[in-house]
Amino acid sequence: MHEPGLSPAEQEERRNARIRKLRSDREASSHKSRRRLQPVVFLFWLAGIIALTGILIFIGFLLSAPRLLAWVEDHPTTIDNGIVLNFVEWYSPESLTDTAASTEHRRVSVEIPPGSTDSEIGELLLWRGVIDSRLRFQHHVYLANRSGALQAGRYDLSPSAPPSVIVASLRQEGAPEVQITLIEGWRLEQIVGYLDQTSLTMNLDEFVELVIHPPADLIAAHPVLAGLPEGRTLEGYLFPDTYRLEVNASARSIIDLLVNTLEVRLTQEMRDAITARGLTIDQALVVASIVEREAVLDSERPLIAGVYLHRLETPGWRLDADPTLQYGIDSGDYAGFPHSEWRNLDWWRQLTSGGADVVLAEAYAGFQTYQHTGLPPWPIAAPRLATLQAVALPDMSAGYFFFVAACPDGVRDGSHRFAVTLAEHEANIAQMNAECP
For 311-340, what is each residue's pLDDT tens digit? 999 999 999 999 999 999 999 999 989 988
Residue type, 359: V
Please indicate whether residue 47 or residue 281 has the higher confidence score (pLDDT): 281
Q: Residues with Cβ < 8 Å from 185, sequence gap 6 or more?
A: 240, 292, 293, 381, 382, 383, 384
* Confidence at residue 61, expressed as pLDDT on a 0 to 100 scale: 47
CA angle 18, 23, 26 (to 5 degrees): 125
SS3 sequence of the chain: CCCCCCCHHHHHHHHHHHHHHHHHHHHHHHHHHHHHHHHHHHHHHHHHHHHHHHHHHHHHHHHHHHHHHHHHHHCHHHHHCHHHHHHHHHHCHHHHCCCCCCCCCCCEEEEECCCCCHHHHHHHHHHCCCCCCHHHHHHHHHHCCCCCCCCCEEEEECCCCCHHHHHHHHCCCCCCEEEEECCCCCCHHHHHHHHCCCCCCCCHHHHHHHHHCCCHHHHHCCHHHCCCCCCCCCCCCCCCCEEEEECCCCHHHHHHHHHHHHHHHCCHHHHHHHHHCCCCHHHHHHHHHHHHHHCCCHHHHHHHHHHHHHHHHCCCCCCCCHHHHHHHHHHHHCCCCCHHHHHHCCCCCCCCCCHHHCCCCHHHHHHCCCCCCCCCCCCCCCCCHHHHHHHHCCCCCCCCCEEEECCHHHCCCCCEEEECCHHHHHHHHHHHHHHCC
Return d(Cα 359, Cα 328) in angstroms, integer.
Answer: 9
pLDDT band (50, 70, 90) for residue 92: confident
pLDDT band (50, 70, 90) for residue 6: low
Burial of 346 (0-12, 13-18, 19+ CB in 10 A): exposed
The conformation of residue 409, written as its DSSP 8-state character, comes to G
Using CA atoms, how far residue 37 sits from 41, 46, 48, 253, in Å, is 6, 14, 16, 85
**Is a pLDDT exceeding 70 seen at residue 44?**
no
Write out pLDDT tens, residues 379-393: 999 999 999 999 999
* Confidence at residue 27, expressed as pLDDT on a 0 to 100 scale: 63
How confident is the prediction for the chain on average, in pLDDT?
86
CB 176 within 8 A of CB 201: no
pLDDT band (50, 70, 90) for residue 361: very high
pLDDT band (50, 70, 90) for residue 13: confident
User: Other C-beta atoms within 10 Å of 166: how many?
Assistant: 29
Specify the length of the chain in residues: 437
* Confidence at residue 41, expressed as pLDDT on a 0 to 100 scale: 60
Using CA atoms, how far residue 2 sits from 8, 16, 23, 49, 92, in Å, is 8, 13, 21, 58, 86
Burial of 212 (0-12, 13-18, 19+ CB in 10 A): middle
Return the half-sphere exposure (C-beta side, CA atoms, 13 A cut-off) of residue 96.
Answer: 21
134-143 vs 8-74: helix crossing angle, rounded to 10: 80
Return d(Cα 90, Cα 88) in angstroms, integer.
Answer: 5
Q: Residues with Cβ < 8 Å from 266, sequence gap 6 or more?
A: 224, 281, 388
Please indicate whether residue 7 or residue 63 has the higher confidence score (pLDDT): 7
**Is a pLDDT exceeding 60 seen at residue 295?**
yes
**Is a pLDDT exceeding 80 seen at residue 45?**
no
**Is a pLDDT exceeding 90 seen at residue 161?**
no
Write out pLDDT tens, residues 18-32: 777 767 666 666 555
Write out pLDDT tens, residues 108-145: 888 888 888 888 898 999 988 888 888 889 888 888 88
pLDDT band (50, 70, 90) for residue 102: confident
pLDDT band (50, 70, 90) for residue 288: very high
Write out pLDDT tens, residues 226-251: 989 999 999 999 999 999 998 888 89
Q: Which residues pair with 418 in a beta bridge?
A: 403
